[in-house]
A = this chain, B = another copy of it.
Amino acid sequence: MSLGEFELIQRYFVRKPDDWPGHPQLGHSQVCLGIGDDAALLELPPGERLVVTTDTLVAGRHFPHDAAAVDIGWKALAVNLSDLAAMAARPLGVTLNLTMPEANESWLAAFARGFWGLADIADVPLIGGDTTRGPLSVTITAIGCVEESVALKRGGAQAGDLICVTGSLGDAGAGLALAMSSAEMAGISDDDRAYLLDRLHRPMPRLLEGAYLRGIASAGLDISDGLLQDLGHLLKASNVGAELAVEQLPLSEPLQAYAATSSAALLQVRRWALSAGDDYELLFTLAPARARLLPQLRYTVIGKITPTAGLRLTAHGKPWEHDSLAGYQHF
């Protein structure tokens, strides 16, 4: 990077204490030394464990080459914070490695707007990073903390536990179909279209929901690859099986409305909810007796854990199968 580019990066990514509305003196209290030295120094609350996760998004693979920079900035951060939420962790800071073909100011400004839009909501400081020239890609590493005894791990689900999800499922799958100008949902309203595209491009990491689950859920993870695939990871790590009731899958109002239009639409919506990725909701298991410990959390029970391996789908109590899901149903 040339000096001019360096200054451009500084302008959009290095914040001064005055830039932190809630922290007028020092920025985030856990940051002892921010950007500008060889490395950042962070304080970890006593007794807590460090939680570390990282994801790379590559242009042309994880987002289209012409994707809006504001969405890339938001989503690259969101997918990493979602992994912290999936551990019931609190974010301490993130690093940002941005590789760009050129330092285009309007692109950078939009990217920064998306990044900080979510970073400010999640109250997470940028503690370091690297800017390099090359084909567009974004790597974010998120660092958080949680007490080990209450961290949300994948193993730990027990037979009889309820299977639960936050929010609604399938929205990002529907959003992707809309973004790719699929023939489906041709009659959808502008508001519903905007909602579904927003769910695809600007997922909201479930940090607060993850925090509620500390020490209460028996196992959990975030749904990034689709419900069935991610549930498969949880079942494998916990060495159990599951029954899912497809009529219980939580659907947003736009998807409920679309599902009501035809049986083909209902089937399509269920396929999105079961196997499309990118929803970034939390999937967790809960001993029935502990459900009363979550009065504040909105979630939906979609099934229960069974003692023997394998996954069985039902609709209104009867077995439910569909060829297009065959690859996911047995592991």
Contacts and interface: CB of A to CB of B under 8 A. Distances in A.
Interface of A: 32-33, 36-44, 46, 49-62, 83-84, 86-87, 89, 92-93, 95, 97, 99, 127-130, 132-135, 137, 139, 141-144, 146, 148, 151, 153-154, 221-222, 237
B99 A52 contact: no
4 closest A-B pairs by CB:
A58-B134, A39-B53, A38-B86, A42-B50
A88 B32 CA distance: 15
Contacts of A32: 49, 148
Contacts of A127: 52
A39 B89 contact: yes
Nearest to A85: B38
A52 B86 contact: no
Contacts of A135: 58, 134-135, 137
9 contacts: A32-B49, A36-B154, A36-B237, A38-B154, A38-B222, A41-B49, A42-B52, A58-B132, A141-B141
A128 B52 contact: yes
A43 B50 contact: yes
A278 B54 CA distance: 26
Residue among A93, A127, A143 having the largest count of chain B Cβ atoms under 10 Å = A143
A127 to B, nearest CB: 6
Given A132-B56, A133-B58, A133-B61, A86 B39 contact: yes
Given A39-B83, A97-B97, A135-B137, 6 more contacts: A38-B87, A39-B84, A39-B86, A52-B143, A54-B95, A54-B128
A83 B133 CA distance: 21
Nearest to A152: B38
B151 A41 contact: yes
A95 B84 CA distance: 15
Contacts of A33: 151, 153
Contacts of A39: 51-53, 83-84, 86-87, 89, 142, 144
B133 A134 contact: no
A108 to B, nearest CB: 16
Given A134-B61, A153-B33, A54 B141 contact: yes
Nearest to A52: B40
Contacts of A99: 56, 58, 137
A62 B1 CA distance: 12
A7 to B, nearest CB: 15
Given A39-B87, A151-B41, A54 B133 contact: no
A97 B134 contact: no
A50 B46 CA distance: 12
Contacts of A56: 97, 99, 130, 132, 139
A120 to B, nearest CB: 20
Nearest to A59: B134
Contacts of A92: 50
